[in-house]
Structure formats: C-alpha cells, structure tokens
Structure 1
Amino acid sequence: MEAVGKEEISVEDEAVDKTIFRDCSQIAFYRRQKQHLSKNTSYRALLDSVTTGEDSTKFQITNEANKIPLLVEVYSIERNIFRLKINEETPLKPRYEVLDVITSKLNTVRLSSCSGDTGSLILADGKGDLKYHISANPFMIDLVSEKEVVMSINSLGQLYFEHLQSSPYKQSATGGNEESASADSCQENQEDLGLWKEKFGNFVDVKANGPSSIGLDFSLHGFEHLYGIPQHAESHQLKNTRDGDAYRLYNLDVYGYQIHDKMGIYGSVPYLLAHKLGRTIGIFWLNASETLVEINMEPAAEYTLTEVGPTAAKQKVRSRTDVRWMSESGIIDVFLLTGPTPSDVFKQYSYLTGTQAMPPLFSLGYHQCRWNYEDEQDVKAVDAGFDEHDIPYDVLWLDIEHTEGKKYFTWDKTRFPNPTQMQELLRSKRRKLVVISDPHIKIDPDYSIYATAKEQGFFVRNPEGGDFEGICWPGPSSYLDFTNPKVRKWYSSLFAFSVYQGSTDILFVWNDMNEPSVFRGPELTMQKNVIHYGNWEHRELHNIYGLYQQMATAEGLIQRSKGKERPFVLSRSFFAGSQKYGAVWTGDNTAEWSYLKISIPMLLTLSICGIAFCGADVGGFIGNPEAELLVRWYQAGAYQPFFRGHATMNTKRREPWLFGEEHTRLIREAIRERYTLMPYLYSLFYHAHVASEPVMRPLWVEFPNELETFGVEDEYMLGSALLAHPVTEPKATTVDVFLPGSNEIWYDFKTFAHWEGGGTVKIPVALDTIPVFQRGGSVIPIKTTVGRSTGWMVDSPYGLRVALSTKDSAVGELYLDDGHSFQYLHQKQFLHRKFLFSSSVLINSCADERGNYPSKCVVEKILILGLRKKPLSVTTHSPDGKDQPVVFVYCDRTSTLKLEKLSLNIGADWKVHIK
C-alpha cells in the first residue's frame, strides 16, 4: 500500500475549516428535539405503578401523544447521590447502556416513599434530608434538600424520548429496499428530520434502527455559575447558549481548533457542576453518543406584587439556570450529585468514575516532544543538549515517523536501528522514552499485527459485515475495536517485551488520533453506522472509543511488569473515567498568545471534571512561537499538572536553547522551578488519587464563599497553597492579580513581599517574572537541589517554605514513596508527614501511621515567611531529647527567617523551637 499522500494531510496544514464540521442546525436529532418544543406534549407519571425494591423505586410514565410507557427508575446511592434512569419498558431491541465507566457496584440506600398531595409522591433517602418530590401530571421531579428545592427535572416539559421503531422500508424480493406506502410521510420529512438517513456533505448516514434520541431538562435554582462539560476551547464558566449553538460533546480531530467556540474537539465528559454561595451540585449524564447541552440563565430579579399604594410590595425572584441535555441515542441515565461543597461533589463523582491514577514520579517532570525526532543521532543530540545547557528533563518522545511505514509496535530500521541501545542511553541519564501508538492499523498482509487482528475479527466492521477501512497516517487502515474485551486483552499483550521487539521498561505510550480520526470520514471521523462488538453501531459509543484504547494500553504496561509498575499513558481522546488510566492534553493548539490564554480555563475545566493530570502543548503545536511567547508558555506550564513541549513537523526546531542565551536562561529557570516544587506536586497528586482533590484548581473551589472568585479564569490555585497568575499578554509590564480571602495573607514566591487578601494587586512584571504567591498558613516541601531528571533527585535534600497566616500558624504535608511501583498500595510502602507551625514551634509528625517507607533524605533548609521579629535563638529538638542550636539569618525588611545547614531526617519526628 502507498503511504498517505500530502493531499491527505492538508487538514494538518491549515487553520480549522469549519465547513468540515457540523454546527447544531446541521444535526438532525437537534432539529427534531427543537421542533418538538412547539408541540407542547407532556408526560404524566402513573403513580399506581410505583414499586419499591431494595435498591430502587420504579414507576411508569406515558406521553399523551403516543401512549407508549417508559420505565423510570430512581436510586439513592450512598454519599448523597441520586440516579435517574428512563428507558423504554419493552423496546424492540435493547438500547445501549454505557459500560466500564462506573467503577464498581454502587452501594444504594433504600428509598422510603409516602404520598404527598393528590397526584404526587415523595421519596426520601435513609437520612431523610434529601427528597424526591414527584409530581404526576405533568411529570416533574423536584430535588429537595433541607426544604430547599435545589433542582427540578422536566419542569419545562422537555423530556424527549424517541422509541425504537420498525423500519418504514420493506425488503424487496431482490434484497433491496422498497418504500412502502407507510414510508411516504417519513420520506417527505427525511431531508429535514433525518429520521432514517441523514446527509452531511457527500456523506449519508443510514440509520438501521431509525431515530432514537433522548433529551431532558434540569432547572437549577439559585445557580448562575456553571462549569464543566469538557472539552471546548472556551471560558471556564459556561455561557448562555440561548442565541447560539449548544455545547457539543462529540470527539473530533480538530487541527488548530478555533477558540471561544462550543464545537466538540478531542474529548468529552458529560458532566457539569453548578455553584452558588453555600452549595455546589453536579449533573453527570452517562451517555457516550453525540450529546448537545443547552444552557439558559435567568438572572435574579425583583418584581412588584402590586402597583397600588405607596408601599408596593416587592419580591425577589431567585436566579435560575436551565440545562437541557440531548443525546442521539441510548437511554437517559443521569446521576445527580448533591454536594453540598465542591469537595463533596468531587468525591461523589470519583465514587462513580474513579480517582486520578497515581502517576509515576518521572511523568511529573518536563517532557520534550516533536513530530518528529529524526533518528537515533537526533535523540542523542537533543538529550545531550539538555545536559549541556543545564536544563532538567525526564522524557523524550517519538512521534509516528519512528515506526516502519507507520506500523505501530515497529521501528524504522534505518532511522532507529538500535532502539534498545538508544533507550539504554536514556536510562543511564535516568530518563524515559514515550512512543506513539494510534488505533488505526495499516492494511498490509505482511504486517503481523494487521494479519492477526484481521484473522481474529478484531477490527470495527462496516454495515455489510466486512472490516471497516478508512484513511489515516499509514494510508488505508482498519481500526481496532477496543470496545471488545478480547481486543483489549490482545492489544495489552502487544506491550510484552517478548512481543514488542526493541521496547524496554523505560518505554511508555502515547495514544493519539483515537477520537477516532479518519481523514476521509464525515467530520474526519468514523461513520456512525459502522458496527462494534455486541452489534452496536458506532453512533452509540463514539465518545468512549478513545477511553477504551487508553484502558487497554495502561493495562498492557502494567502486565508487562507483572503488575509491579505504574503505567504512563497520554491520550488525546477521553471520556468520563479516563482519569483512571493516565493523562490527557488539549490537543493541536497554535503558537499564539490567545491559545496560551485559553489553555488556562481549558485545564481548569478538565481538572474539576476528575481529570487532574492534564496539560497543553507548551509553545503551541502549530506554528512558530516568538521567543517571548515561548518563555511565557514555559512559565505557565511549569505550574500546571502535565508539562510537555511539542511541535508539528513543519515548524522550526524549538528546543529550549535555540532562542538565545537570555531566553535559554529564562526557560531553564522555569523548568528548574518545576523540579524544585516536585515534592509538593507529587503530594498533590497523591491527594487527587486518594481524595479526589484537583491538582490545578479554579479559585472558586478553594474559596467557595467568595463571589468574586466565581468568574476568575486567568489565575488558579496549585493545590491549596500556591496561586499562579501566568502572564498571557505580549510585552506586559504589569498584571492585575486578584488575591482572595479577606482574612488571608499572600507572599510573593520570589521576593517574599506580602499582601492582604480580598482585593486586586497590580504586580510589575519583567520577562523573568512568574507571578506566583504562597498562601499564608501553608508549608510547602521543596527540593533544595535540582538534578538532570527526577531520578537524580530521589535522595537530594528537602527544604520547607513556611508561610505564616495572620494567626502566625501554618500547616502542610509531604507524601513520599518509591515513585514508580504499586508498593505504596499493596505493601503500604509510603511516607506521609505533616508539618505544623504553631506557637513559634515547627513540628514534623506522622500523618498516616499505616505507611512505612525509609528515606535517607534530610531537611537541610527552612524558610519562614511573615515572622514579625528577630528570634533570640533557634533550636532543634529530636525524640531522643537532644536540643541543638541552629545558626539563622533574619531579614527585617522581608520578615523572613532562614535556617540552613540542617540535617533533620524527613521521616522522623522532630521540632524546631523559635524563641
């Protein structure tokens, strides 16, 4: 087969062509649901059909127009979660339900029921403080918490459910389709409504099962601030869609995506959060088909009850936001997360979909990538360049050109004749290699992976029953059906060292193009009527396809180590639950200031939707960044969860030392600052893993009762202790930084200057300025020396940065394990320490007695910010009763105390007394 020609990759050379992709008006099920609104048909609940079992309450609802009953199931799940399922009671065939996202069997709480007023039913959870008020006619549900209606379901009467039907076409004697008389009306409406087939450009989507879309509205009372439903190149706070397109959740390969646009790009998480003073809630719409979300915000208002008399009474009308979910197929399966705090909602969502996988330590370092590093000599030269310029990094990446003819799990024998030897060079520097593995497989009978997959029937099939064929990087390709457990098991086995020749245990994996991308397909993806495992059409599960590949890849890396080592897998496509398998990034961005700026809200949105390990390509994948932009992007990336520089093949080389000595110095400083903060970062990922706390947080999460934080998206918290405000404008000389918290104090991370919280501060900036502030009341563990990679820093000393609160106290933590294995989980081989500064004493104590991990590391430096007067003496106290005086330096101008040349074991109990 010929390799893909240049004409095939023209989509990779231009800004996004919006004519390739559909807007809402071109989506048939959207048009049908919008048309339905004008008919004013409503459902009513048949309360005499109510049955209550151990795990759910069930009843029927029916539509006056068609009289066909739907089955409603209501579940109360522990941790204050409600689940609502609506399905056909007797469908012609089963409807698709999403599997493999919900982590395990959910613990349900038996609902108690009692009749409300005539025509209503009240269901309560075990504690009785959360209730479902179900109205029969019209069918509506109010979710009540402590006598307050938090959310109403179907209060606008927008419940929509297309029942599966028999085809209006009959089979002719020759096997072709003939139109029956009953099909006339369908034919008349076909072009507009897309009932049994739908056209877009030259593509015709033939729908074997006919129309099957669903929809439901939710009214959120008192809420004006909504977040979530990644992935879009949009603001963090969701916008009103009344006068424009809905938010589209449909995974697509959109090269150079347009910013401030609601079109779907690489991943989808059908989950949003709503926040107001005193309450946070979440809606998780478990559906993997194409989904649209409309948002209509009704702000609070006052109206006059009577216009008569001088004292006309006025009443405050609460704000309300209406959210309408619409999906092409499947069933209604929605989880309502009732909070009440942001932390509660994060835990509730992770209880359903899993927490962020604990990453290996190296993956938090800096990654250097390019499409493509040319050959082994290029790899060697780039690796040496980092050492020559004293810039730490952990991982070098290889794109598709490293393979033989773009056949994954192979090596180009000319460019990479000795891949094992190349990896051993990286290993000697304690570094890693990441290679790409996409879901498309080159059609080549001599390619063993293709031959095996074809023989075993492991490819997605076309409607006629043969293997689906599409065009991607290798040219004509077939696509592995990762929805099939047997395919995933086989794919996982390909990473075994005995199978993947030339791979070693420092090789990790990047899953790209897994939306899936199909160059000549509709919207550059797979036709919706191709067939997957279980005879399901692609339309049913499109958005979950990439998750299944990342799942199989992560499992393969675990298996090759016999279950001992943590995997690292980066995926471009994702769905709810992808956090369990690795990291994601924001895809093919552009080297422009606006893309640097939009990356912050994009990452904040991913972070609050469970995907803590996320990042954006530093410098922009497309185009050639000017030196100032590149520096500013490194400064931003250094304080974000996933930190990778990447560029497409037709850009100029941009390794950090190619922009002049001064810019090299600034990039070096940003990357080295990342490595200094590694103990703090790793501890944050541990909390993301065990307690569902985002690593990168919008200000409203950390300050949920401060209205001023709700719309901030140009700065963010890294954990609870650091606030970062990256510079995202060219030639900036000042930035306005909002420092929240009227009772807080904030310290400049570099100059130690401090400010009171609760206002905006104008900070002067030069090109070497990264506006980062430490929150008073926090203790941050750091590394005092930076090595060539994280592997060089395992035994290097620690420092503690203690920033005192207005009450002269501070707390912090350190989590430590071997950084690569599962021993922290299976053998409790970890160290979890707590630092407390109070009453002029700094105490290091054990935070988790279950852990046991010996460490040679010592704390050699302590910096205390905000100490108001010079001490008379400083002494250390160990459990054996020995007191040692400490030499200290106090700066009256900055109110800082520096303790150096200490030797305090990080894993032992000790105290530092300041008198």
Structure 2
Amino acid sequence: MTEAKPPTISGVPDQKTKTCDQVGFYRRQIEGPNLHHRALLDTLVLTEKGACFQLLEPDTQTRLLLTVSPYKNGAVRILIDELQPIKERFRVPDVVTGERQCEQLRVERQDEDSVTLTWSSGCHLVRVWHFPFSLEILCGEEEVVTFNSKDKLWFETLQDPSRQTSCSSELEEDQAGSLWKETFGQFVDIKANGPTSIGADLSLHGFSHAYGLPEHADSLKLRDTREGEPYRLFNLDVFAYELYSRFGLYGSVPLLVAHKPDRTLGVFWLNASETFVKIHYTTDHQDGQTPPVKMRRIQPQTDVHWLSESGVIDCMVLLGPSPQQLFSQYAQMTGYQALPPLFSLGYHQCRWNYEDEADVRAVDAGFEHHNIPYDMIWLDIEHTDGKRYFTWDPVRFPDPAGLQHHLQQKNRKLVVISDPHIKVDPDWSLYCEARDGGHFVKDREGQIYEGSCWSGDSCYLDFSSPATRAWYARCFALDKYKGSTPSLFVWNDMNEPSVFSGPEQTMPKDAVHSGGWEHRELHNLYGFQQHMATVDGLISRSGGSERPFVLSRSFFAGSQRFGAIWTGDNVASWEYLNISIPMLLSLSVAGIMFCGADVGGFVQDPQPELLVRWYQAASLQPFFRGHSANVTKRREPWLFGEEVTAAIRTAIQQRYCLLHYWYTLFHQAHTSGLPPLRPLWVEFPKEASNFAVDNQYMIGGALLACPITEPGVQEVNVLFPGSGEDEIWYDVHSAKAYKGGRTLSLPVTLDTVPVFQRGGSVVCRSAGCGSCTAELQQLPLCLTVALNSCGVAEGELYLDDGHSFSYRDTKAFCLRRFNMLSGRLLCRRASEEGVFECDSVIQSVTVMGVKSKPAAVIVCVSDTTDVSAEFQYTEDCSIVTVTNLNLRVLMDWEIEIV
C-alpha cells in the first residue's frame, strides 16, 4: 500500500510519473530515422540452436548478430545482439524455464534477395529478406508475422564512457535530456554505458484484436495508441491509479496476445528495462474514410512497436494456433501456474492494520459468530517492531506464536507483510547481517544505496543476487524468524521497488546491482525476484514438503510460478469495481492467473450496495481478499446491517461451495497453462462479436459470470455466446435455460449474482461450505450436469491433500472424469497417474435439461447389482435430482436415467 491521500482520477497523469515525451530513449527512436538494416545472407550459419545471420547498418557500419530459433512447441525466437560488444549486454535471467528443444533448420530456397528456412514439424517457414531487412513467419504460403516490416529496428551499441569528453557539446544536457545524462525534476540519471536502447516492430497479419501487456487499468482489448500515450511497462507504486490509462502500474508482463477466428498468436518481448509498446490497428478503411465500393478490401493488421531502454532484442513469437495451444506454449516458456494450497482459494480478511492480538481474535470470532467462512487473516506493517520486517511489535503482538496456534486450531492461517526495504539501524541484527553480507543495492558511487520508505531511511535488498535471495530465504526459517510458525504466510508489498524519495517514487536507474548491472537493466524484475526468494524461503521452512502461499504486488513474466498477485491500491468506487474485471482478464491472458482486486476498494469508504456487489464479483475471481486502508472505516462484513451481512455471507458461502471446481481449474492451469478466468473468445474463438467483451467472462469452460458493477441495477444485459441452435445456458440458481447467440435483459435484485452453467458441462460443488476449507474437505459433494442440445455433458474433478507437494513427489492425487451420454452418467479415472486415498463421496446429482420425467434412475457401482435410486423431477425447469447416493469419488460407477 501507499500512504493514503485523496485520489485524482483524470486524464492528466500525475507529474510524479513521466510521460513518454520525457523519456530520452523513446524520443530518439520515435524522432530518429529508419536505419535500413541489411541482412547479409552470405553470413548464414546453421547450428543446433537455429540460424545465424549478420545484420549491417550501412551508415555507421554497425554489425549485429541475428539468431532465429524455431522450437518444437510451436514458437520462434528472434534474438539480436551486438556482433562484437565491448562488454556483455544484459539478458533477462530466471524467467525462461529450462532448455528449449530447437528444431533443425534447413534451407528451402535462397537467392540474392532472401533465404527461406524450414523445419520438420508443422507447416511454418521463416523467410529472411536482404534489404530492407525483414523476417517473415509463414504458415504454408500465408504470411502470419513480419518482424521489422516498418523498418523500425533500432539498436544503440555500448560505448566507451571516455567518448563523451570528446563530444561534450553534443552530449550536454538540454531541456529534453541527453545521451549520457538525463534529468527528471531534481533527479539526475547518469548513464554509465551511454545510450543502449533497442526497438523493433512486428506486423500481425489478419488480426484486429490484441490483449495482454498488463498491468494497466484499461479495457481488455488493447487500444490503438496513435492518439495519446503508448502502453508503458515500468513497475511503479501508483496510489489510486488513473482509470483507462496506459501508464505503468505495479507489474509488467511483456506478452501481447492477438486473436482472430482461425488463429491465436503471441509476441513475448523478453526485456526487463523500461519499455513502451505502440499499437496500430489497420482495418478495412483508415482515417475514418469509407473507401469506394470497388476498392480492394484491406486485410486487417495489427502493428506492434516495442521500444526498450536497454538489453538485447529477445522476441518470441508463439504461433498457437488455438488459444489453448498458445497458453501452453507460453507456460512452457516461462513456467506453469503454481498449484496453490486449497486454503489460499478461500476468503482472506485484511486491513491496514488490525491493531493487536485481541483485535485479530475478535475479527476471527466475528466470522464464526456470523457464520461466514474464511481461511486467512492478514497483518500489515504495524504488526512489526518499528517497521523492522521479521519482527513483532512487543506491545501489540507479544505472543505471535500463540496467536497463530489459536487460529491454527480452527484451521485458519495468518499472513504478514515483508517489504524489500530494510530500516537503517546499526543496532538491528538483520540490518547488520545484510550490510556485512553485501546484500544491499549500491549507488553509482559504489556506496550502499539509501532511500526512504515506511521504515524511514532504508536500504534495499539486492534480489538480483542469488546469494542475497538465498540469505533472504533463510530469514523465514522457524528458528530465525522468531514468533513464526508453519501456519504463517507472507505478503510482499512495495516491491516495484517503492522509494518515496526516488524518481517516480522508485529506485534510480543508475543504482548498481550484483555483477555491476545498473538498475535500469532489470527494474521490472525486482519484485519478481523477491517473490521468488520468499517462496523459496517458505518451501525450505517446511523441508520442501509444503506448498507456500505468497502474495506479491510487483510481478513480471513467470511470476505465476510463485503464487498470487493483486491489482494494488484501488478506490472504493463503482468505476474501480468495473475496471477490475478487464484488469484481471488481461492478467489471466498473460499467464498471471492467481489474481484479484481488493474487495471494497483499498481507499475511501464504500456504500453498502457497492460493497455487496464487490463481494459478489470477487467471489467469482481467483484471489479473494477484502482489504482497506487505515484511514477508512472498519468494514468487516457484519458492520452494515443484517441485509448486507446476509448478502455478503451468501456470496462467500457460494464461493466455498464452488472451491472444488476452482481447485480443479488451477490443476488444469498447473498442467496445461489454461487460465481459470477466461475472456469469452478463449472458449468461443470464432465469434467475433465476443472479442472485445470484458464485462463478463468464463470461469473455466463451464460457468459464465456476469458480475453487476453499476449502482441501482434492476436489469442486466447478459450476452449468451454460442450458436442459438446448439448452445444452452442454465441459470445456476433457477435452472432456467437460455439459448446461445443472443443478448437478453434479465431482472436482478441485490441478492442476484448472474452465473450460468454451459450445456455440455459437469460442475462439482460441495454440499455445504463449512467455516474454512479444512471443513469443506470433509463435506460430501454434489454434481450438476448441464446437458447440451445432444444430451451430452462432461467434466472433471481433481483431488489431493490440498497443501503438500505429495501430488508431485509421490503422485498422491486423483483426477476423475464424469461423462454423460445417452442418459448414462459415468465416473471414471481421467488419468492413469495418481493414487490418492480419500473418503469423498457424491451425495447427489442434478441433471438439467431432461425433457421428460424418467421412469427410473438406476445406479451401478463396479460389479455390484444395479440399484434403483431416489429422484425427483421438476417439470417446469426440466431437472432430475438424484439424492442419497453416497457414491465414492474414487470408485467407478454409473447412473442411468431410464
């Protein structure tokens, strides 16, 4: 969180942050000439890792090295570096996981103008053109992507700092900044290596919809940037951030996803320095003019221009072609979503700050008294001894272990904050240990960098150093972190990093990290690497047996491997509730799947209706936490009257009833890369009318959610995707059926949460909700079978112990599949792997879409005698409900509706 102050929500950016025109490297690239590089085709060398060419910029005679590597998973990597740099340029570590398997390239055609390369798998080709240099990726004869189609390739080579003395007049600082020194307000950025920016453009042929590039408070579909600012990827602490803005927020994922009816494509720009992205859509007509009737139709195209301050050009094109294949390709590149412990999918209660141990116990008791389930309660910075992390305030929290044991007896957990800034205090052993161990970032003069944050004068841990990360991880050991227990979990905040006294409230770019790398090179990695170290610490704390839970505010590509993130310091307003949906969808598309927004808004006080609607919306999103600033009124769910309490209770209870479905979706994310939260186009890729929809979404493949995000609503418009002849949607509360391919206005009340189950799906719920996830695991299960127009449905259920790594280490899990066809529902193994003993039973089955009353319902368990089952038929909504089943999930069985 950031110090609370009244938010400004306007079209004018806060002058604490830069506009693109105030950034030197951006101006140079936009205002500079096209450099007309040539590909020297006679320098082609084929290796096990791809094809290498030299590129020549004729005016300066600068030579670059281009490497093209096709991967077996359907991706093509384009890497450009200096041919002979005076020293190594920064390449992003820790993000790309494992070694990729490269395809063996061969030359298919070559002449003086171009070289065409092919490989064994798939139908793709790469064609490299001599002049002007461009690189095409083709599918058969169809051009899919062109790299450098607009001739925007830009590469500023490293220079010897002594050069600046010989041309001081050119390099003197002016109003707009300079090559070796740049100013912003009172801050001066000295560039040790001079200008080192890079840039390139790609044309995505046939595409007119692009997504991703989080984090921005903007629509799901990325906007054309010809007017206004480009999208900025630069992690910043932005309190009460501006809405519908392209300015950078807390995290950055340089992944753009484009979609059209027959292909989904991704462009992953692996660069951790400040980055701008310009997007230009070309449609059937341009500049608002309608073309003459006989004019040739212009193919849609999306042009993407990436501009980064430093590093190398490392661009991966993910070729799909389906959304599912694209998500898998990206997960194989940067890692799969971590399988969260089940308790972390429950409800979290947080405030800056619960005052003391008595306050925490009282809030915990309040949830019990009001019959509202929850799993984790959180403590902000005031729980520490003078803002020293890994400590406890001796007056407010004299017995932290006792508090944790009190919560753990009820199977609940405590979460505490741990920020990256360390209070300058020579009498504090942890500060001295970090200082003496060389674990702090240094300034450009080689001294320990000091800035200010919550602790006052602070030093910042250098998480780019593996040694520092290992030291930090050890700080979470139970014998070192006094007062901690195995039921204590962690929240990484302020890790952009936030520096109250720094330029744009972050660390100066000329600060120096391990290995001599400037902060400018790796700024967007800082929070990612703290998140990594914290997760390692919690895993080590348990001897490698228990899954961690760590929430981080700052993130980068690959952060999905570590845990959860949230959208930061939002505001208690309907506009912020509304924008939270496209923000979370954008994160999900970019691989950051365990995401959520602070329920009720972090700052300001929500009206009761807004609070209810926010709980209802957030209960249908992956990370579910109520959180508020210390200047707001208390807002525990029972403080607004019984009507509000009842509505919030219902929303949270329904979340718990659905947790087995959420957990199964996270298993899918963990194994296939498919996000639990999905834009409509992921499930309905051919329906162009859905491509820009971002006020409703799919939860997995089975549930359509349409949260209400406006006040006083009595009717809501719901778009039911799919063909009207084939697609059926069932209201999860009334079971009323709706045909797809239409938008309907449906009545709602304050208690209404519009959710619909897709025909053809099976969803597993709990028969009750319990007081936390531990109780939930002991409850029987219910299946809801929603028949499609052919009378068919299918679904899965994933089970394990919910907290350990046994599912991975000893295959202690089970994955069951439910299939309904021709009136018979079968329960079978969905995977040959996995052995997990549990007593979970299916208590009841509800089948929606049964046109007439059955004569009987017959149950067969393995080889036992068939048994008639009790059932009810509700004619007005065509439902069969089979009760008192007590069928073990782990056994094969079938139910036949006769």
Calculate the TM-score normalised by the size of structure 1.
0.96
The more displaced of 786-795 and 723-732 is: 786-795
**Counterpart-to-counterpart distance in 2, 1:331 and 1:578:** 21
Deviations 1:295-341 (A, max 9, x none): 011112499xxx9xxx9964222011110000000000010101101
Match of residue 345 from structure 1: 326
2:273 to 284, 289, 294: 289
What is the correspondence of 1:411-426 to structure 2 with a 5 Å cutoff?
411-426=392-407
**Counterpart-to-counterpart distance in 2, 1:181 and 1:331:** 27
- Secondary structure of the residue aligned to 1:20 is coil
**Counterpart-to-counterpart distance in 2, 1:190 and 1:139:** 34
Match of residue 24 from structure 2: 28
Match of residue 500 from structure 1: 481
| 1:301/1:318 contact within 8 Å kept | no
Deviations 1:69-110 (A, max 9, x none): 011111111111100111111112111000100110111111
Match of residue 284 from structure 2: 300
- Secondary structure of the residue aligned to 2:297 is strand
**Counterpart-to-counterpart distance in 2, 1:380 and 1:606:** 35
| 1:302/1:314 contact within 8 Å kept | no
Match of residue 874 from structure 1: 857
- The residue type equivalent to 1:125 in the other structure is W
Match of residue 559 from structure 2: 578
**Counterpart-to-counterpart distance in 1, 2:187 and 2:703:** 51
- Secondary structure of the residue aligned to 2:708 is coil
How far 1:558 moved relative to its partner?
Answer: 0.4
- Point out where structure 1 has 5 or more consecutive residues left out of the alignment: 1-7, 171-179
How far 1:849 moved relative to its partner?
Answer: 2.1
How far 1:166 moved relative to its partner?
Answer: 1.9
**Counterpart-to-counterpart distance in 2, 1:40 and 1:622:** 47
What is the correspondence of 1:333-482 to structure 2 with a 5 Å cutoff?
333-482=314-463
**Counterpart-to-counterpart distance in 2, 1:21 and 1:459:** 25
- Secondary structure of the residue aligned to 1:19 is coil
**Counterpart-to-counterpart distance in 2, 1:392 and 1:755:** 32
**Counterpart-to-counterpart distance in 2, 1:891 and 1:379:** 47
How far 1:549 moved relative to its partner?
Answer: 0.3
Residues 1:98 and 2:92 are matched in the alignment: yes
**Counterpart-to-counterpart distance in 1, 2:786 and 2:614:** 27
Residues 1:183 and 2:156 are matched in the alignment: no
- The residue type equivalent to 1:66 in the other structure is T
How far 1:413 moved relative to its partner?
Answer: 0.5
Residues 1:224 and 2:192 are matched in the alignment: no
TM-aligned CA distance change 1:712 to 1:9, over 3 Å: closer
What is the correspondence of 1:447-846 to structure 2 with a 5 Å cutoff?
447-742=428-723, 743-846=726-829
Residues 1:136 and 2:119 are matched in the alignment: no
**Counterpart-to-counterpart distance in 2, 1:129 and 1:193:** 48
TM-aligned CA distance change 1:401 to 1:13, over 3 Å: farther
Deviations 1:18-68 (A, max 9, x none): 1100011111111110111xx343101111111111112111111121011
| 1:302/1:316 contact within 8 Å kept | no
How far 1:168 moved relative to its partner?
Answer: 5.2
How far 1:251 moved relative to its partner?
Answer: 0.1
Q: CA RMSD in A?
A: 1.5
TM-aligned CA distance change 1:94 to 1:11, over 3 Å: farther
How far 1:656 moved relative to its partner?
Answer: 0.4
The more displaced of 15-24 and 607-616 is: 15-24
Residues 1:113 and 2:83 are matched in the alignment: no
How far 1:647 moved relative to its partner?
Answer: 0.2
| 2:860/2:894 contact within 8 Å kept | yes
What is the correspondence of 1:70-89 to structure 2 with a 5 Å cutoff?
70-89=64-83
How far 1:127 moved relative to its partner?
Answer: 2.6
How far 1:118 moved relative to its partner?
Answer: 2.8
| 1:29/1:194 contact within 8 Å kept | no
**Counterpart-to-counterpart distance in 2, 1:437 and 1:301:** 53
How far 1:10 moved relative to its partner?
Answer: 5.6
- Secondary structure of the residue aligned to 1:65 is coil
**Counterpart-to-counterpart distance in 2, 1:41 and 1:499:** 57
Match of residue 233 from structure 1: 217
- The residue type equivalent to 1:122 in the other structure is T
Would you identify which runs of 4 or more consecutive aligned residues in structure 1 move more than 3 Å?
A: 8-17, 114-117, 311-314
- The residue type equivalent to 1:211 in the other structure is P
| 1:468/1:479 contact within 8 Å kept | yes
Match of residue 832 from structure 2: 849
**Counterpart-to-counterpart distance in 2, 1:74 and 1:409:** 47
- The residue type equivalent to 1:267 in the other structure is G
- Secondary structure of the residue aligned to 2:640 is coil
How far 1:881 moved relative to its partner?
Answer: 2.3
Deviations 1:511-561 (A, max 9, x none): 000000000100000000000011000000000010000000001000011
- Point out where structure 2 has 5 or more consecutive residues left out of the alignment: none
Match of residue 191 from structure 2: 207
**Counterpart-to-counterpart distance in 1, 2:309 and 2:654:** 47
**Counterpart-to-counterpart distance in 2, 1:302 and 1:197:** 40
- Secondary structure of the residue aligned to 2:227 is coil
Match of residue 51 from structure 1: 45
- The residue type equivalent to 1:765 in the other structure is V
Match of residue 887 from structure 2: 904
- Secondary structure of the residue aligned to 1:850 is coil
Calculate the TM-score normalised by the size of structure 2.
0.98
How far 1:191 moved relative to its partner?
Answer: 3.8
How far 1:181 moved relative to its partner?
Answer: 4.5
| 2:4/2:629 contact within 8 Å kept | no
- The residue type equivalent to 1:528 in the other structure is K
- Secondary structure of the residue aligned to 1:377 is helix
- Secondary structure of the residue aligned to 2:695 is coil
How far 1:116 moved relative to its partner?
Answer: 3.4
- The residue type equivalent to 1:27 in the other structure is V
**Counterpart-to-counterpart distance in 2, 1:836 and 1:560:** 42
| 1:168/1:182 contact within 8 Å kept | no
- Secondary structure of the residue aligned to 1:127 is coil
- Secondary structure of the residue aligned to 1:73 is strand
- The residue type equivalent to 1:96 in the other structure is F
| 2:4/2:603 contact within 8 Å kept | no
Match of residue 18 from structure 1: 14
| 2:2/2:237 contact within 8 Å kept | no
Instruction: Tell me the matched-pair count.
Output: 890
- The residue type equivalent to 2:756 in the other structure is F
Residues 1:256 and 2:235 are matched in the alignment: no
**Counterpart-to-counterpart distance in 1, 2:549 and 2:416:** 11
- The residue type equivalent to 1:392 in the other structure is P
- Secondary structure of the residue aligned to 1:103 is coil
How far 1:268 moved relative to its partner?
Answer: 0.1
TM-aligned CA distance change 1:290 to 1:312, over 3 Å: closer
- The residue type equivalent to 2:520 in the other structure is R
How far 1:14 moved relative to its partner?
Answer: 4.3
- Secondary structure of the residue aligned to 1:834 is strand
**Counterpart-to-counterpart distance in 2, 1:511 and 1:301:** 48
- Secondary structure of the residue aligned to 1:315 is coil
- The residue type equivalent to 1:55 in the other structure is K
| 2:208/2:301 contact within 8 Å kept | yes
**Counterpart-to-counterpart distance in 2, 1:525 and 1:126:** 48
